[in-house]
Amino acid sequence: MRAAVFHSSRAPLVVEEVSDPAPAFRQALLSVRACGVCRTDLHIVDGELTGPKLPLVPGHQIVGTVESLGEGAEGFLIGERVGVPWLGSACGECRYCRSGRENLCDHALFTGYHVDGGFAELTVADARFCFPLPEGFPDMQAAPLLCAGLIGYRALCMAGEARRIGFYGFGSAAHILIQVARFRGMEVYAFTRPGDAKARAFAAKLGAAWVGDSTLPPPKPLDAAVIFAPDGTLVPLALRAVAKGGTVVCAGIHMSDIPGFPYAILWEERRLVSVANLTRRDAAEFLSLAPKIPVRTEVRVFPLSEVNQALSDMRSGAIEGSIVIDPTI
């Protein structure tokens, strides 16, 4: 099969012929129909997340159809369409798994990091961590739901019962989550990079109550803020933007260092929390909710041969919405 393979840090992925994978115990062999590109893929390729399997096929927002099932794999039929997220498997036995926090599992394996992912024509995945996808979402539009949507949904839940919420960074996750937030009756304040008129217009088009420069305070105090951009300097700014009792959620797996800040902007019961991965419960809830809104993902599709260009465009922020790889073309 063809796959985009990561061999070493800060080197381009190499699209090459590799052996077809075969499903092991509890695994499903999938024909990949689409795979979203995530900022986490950049963190891996750019060496900011250390310790990936090498060589590695990245990609963890996979839409595929079941080609075959390994021994012990249950719950799906041959030909069924499924989604594969970042959480590839969890042990089910550690204290985190036993307490419903499999996202923090001591022995978790992550798709496109510890195990090969979806920048390929075929992949294998633990069938227990695959999900049936709702009707009404074509393959390309379904792919971003599997990380931008799921991790964003978990971040939104951690923000609590906010009426007025800020999103710092308006990319793939934010363009999905603004739809969820507005469905729940929230006012969304969108913070973009200075001078990024394109992102501001995109946020306004999707119904943001206010759009502005991330370095400026919002016109009204926020109940909560979610930071999608991997920029630690935004944390003090977000803490200053939330009202007493407010919550700031750091939604990325990687962030640059957070500068020192005065205790006064954390005081008055403000909370600073992070999101780590996802649970299968998150996936079940979000994939049930998405058709009811209904969420609409805006995507730019690249063939597998142009995966490095897709990563470059993700890095520069040149794309509105989400980027998806189509390995069938």
Q: Enter the DSSP assignment of 290.
A: G
Instruction: Delineate the domains of the chain, giving CATH numbers in brackets.
Output: 2-145+280-285+297-326 (3.90.180.10), 150-274 (3.40.50.720)
pLDDT for residue 9: 83
Side-chain half-sphere CA neighbours of 244 within 13 A = 1
- Tell the residue number behind the tokens 């946020």, with chain if given: 203
Give me 49's structure tokens: 């997340």
pLDDT for 64 equals: 98
pTM: 0.94
Residue 80 has what DSSP assignment? -
**What is the structure's pLDDT at 319?**
86
Q: Is 216 helix (H, G, I), strand (E, B) or coil?
A: coil
Which residues does residue 23 pair with via DSSP β-bridges, in sequence order?
Answer: none
203 token code pair: 């946020």
How much is the CA Rg of the chain, to the nearest whole Å? Answer: 19
Cis before 55? omega within 30: yes
Angstrom distance (rounded) from CA 17 to CA 188: 45
325/34 Cα distance (integer angstroms): 6
Other Cβ atoms closer than 10 A to 215: 11
Predicted confidence at residue 10, as pLDDT, reads: 77
Strands 187-192 and 299-303: unpaired
DSSP string, 107-123: T-EEBTTTB--SSBSEE
User: What percent of the chain shows pLDDT beyond 70?
Assistant: 100
Could you read off the pLDDT of 183-236 as tens digits, one per residue?
A: 999 999 999 998 889 899 999 999 999 999 999 999 999 999 999 999 999 999
Amino acid at 45: V
pLDDT the model gives residue 195: 85
Q: What are phi and psi of 210, to 5 degrees?
A: -155, 140
Q: Which residues contact 257 (CB under 8 A, 6 or more apart)?
A: 232
Inform me whether the pLDDT recorded for 311 exceeds 80: yes
> Any residues with CB less than 8 A from the CB of 294 and at least 6 apart, and which?
136
Distance separating alpha carbons of residues 320 and 324, to the nearest angstrom: 12
With tokens 């780590």, the residue in question is 276
Average pLDDT over residues 78-100: 97
Average pLDDT, the chain: 96
pLDDT category of residue 318 using cuts at 50, 70 and 90? confident
pLDDT per residue as tens digits for the range 128-157: 999 999 999 999 999 999 999 999 999 999
DSSP for 25-47, please give it.
TTEEEEEEEEEEE-HHHHHHHTT
Classify residue 267 by its DSSP letter: T
User: Does residue 20 register a pLDDT over 90?
Assistant: yes
